[in-house]
Amino acid sequence: MFEGITMRLLSFILIFILSNYGARAFFQSSEHHLCQVSEKEDNIQMDMAIRSADYYFSHSLESDKIAIDYAKVERMNNATYYNEAWLRAYHEWQQRKMELKVPDGLLEEHVIAILCYTLDRPPLYRYFNKAIRNYGTNDEIYSKCFHYKSLHYLLSVALSVLQNSTWGPDPGTLVYRAMDRKVLVSKGAKIRFGQFASTSLNIIESVSTFTDEETTSNTLFNITTSHGVAIQNFSFFRREEEVLIPPHEVFNVTKVVDWEDDLGVRGVNIVLSSIGQKQTEVKLQSDGPGHLRVVRLLEPISPWWFSILAILLILLFAACIFFLKKQKYI
Closest residue by Cα to residue 294 from 149, 134, 132: 149
- The answer to whether residues 185 and 253 touch, using CB atoms and an 8 Å cutoff, is yes
**What per-residue confidence (pLDDT) applies to 80?**
86
What are the residue boundaries of the structural domains of the chain, listed by start?
38-296
Active site residue 177: yes
pLDDT surpasses 90 at 266: no
The predicted structure's pLDDT at residue 193: 98
More confident residue, 224 or 34: 224
Task: Judge whether 198 counts as a catalytic residue.
Answer: yes
Q: Which of 92, 109, 240, 242 is catalytic?
A: 242
In the chain, what percentage of residues exceed pLDDT 70? Answer: 80
Give the model's confidence band at 322: pLDDT under 50 very low, under 70 low, under 90 confident, else very high: low
- Confidence (pLDDT) at 317: 73
pLDDT band at 185 (very low <50, low <70, confident <90, very high): very high
Is residue 179 scored above 70 in pLDDT?
A: yes
Q: What pLDDT was estimated at residue 16? A: 46
Residue 274 CB neighbours (<10 A):
19
Is the pLDDT at 17 greater than 50, yes or no? no
More confident residue, 265 or 220: 220
State the pLDDT at residue 265. 76
Residue 43 pairs in a beta bridge with 182
The per-residue pLDDT of the chain, averaged, comes to 85
How many whole angstroms separate alpha carbon 96 and alpha carbon 325? 81
- Of 38-52, 60-74, 214-228, the range with the highest mean pLDDT is 60-74
Strand order in the sheet with 197-200: 190-191, 249-260, 266-277, 219-225, 173-179, 197-200, 242-245, 229-230
CA distances from 144 to 58, 71, 297 (A): 21, 16, 20
Cα 328 to chain center, whole Å?
A: 63
Instruction: CATH number for 38-296: choose from 3.40.50.1820, 3.30.450.20, 3.90.176.10, 2.120.10.10.
Output: 3.90.176.10
Weakest-pLDDT range from 5-9, 115-119, 190-194:
5-9
Q: What's 215's DSSP letter?
A: -
User: What is the structure's pLDDT at 9?
Assistant: 47
State the helix-helix crossing angle for 108-118 and 61-76, rounded to 10 degrees: 50
pLDDT at res. 310? 73
DSSP secondary structure, 240-292, as one string: G-EEEEPTTEEEEEEEEEEEE-TT--EEEEEEEEEEEE--EEEEEEE-STT-E
Q: What is the pLDDT of residue 299?
A: 54
pLDDT one-digit tens code per residue, 89-127: 999 999 999 998 899 999 999 999 999 999 999 999 999
Residue 22 is predicted with a pLDDT of 45
Which of 177, 226, 235, 274 is catalytic? The answer is: 177
Residue-level pLDDT at 23: 39
Q: Does the pLDDT at position 294 exceed 50?
A: yes
Instruction: In whole angstroms, give the CA distance from residue 157 to residue 131.
Output: 18
Q: What is the pLDDT of residue 28?
A: 43
Task: Name every residue whose Cβ is closer than 8 Å to that of residue 145 and which is 6 or more positions away in sequence.
Answer: 31, 34, 35, 131, 134, 135
Residue 325 has pLDDT above 50, yes or no: yes
> pLDDT tens digits for 31-65?
556 798 767 667 899 999 999 999 999 999 999 99
Given a cut of 90, whether residue 88 has pLDDT beyond it is: yes
Active site residue 242: yes
Query: Could you say which of 160, 198, 200, 226 is catalytic?
Result: 198
Mean pLDDT in residue range 275-287: 94
Q: Structure pTM?
A: 0.81
More confident residue, 313 or 3: 313
Would the pLDDT of 19 be above 80?
no
Cβ contact 150:74 at 8 Å: yes
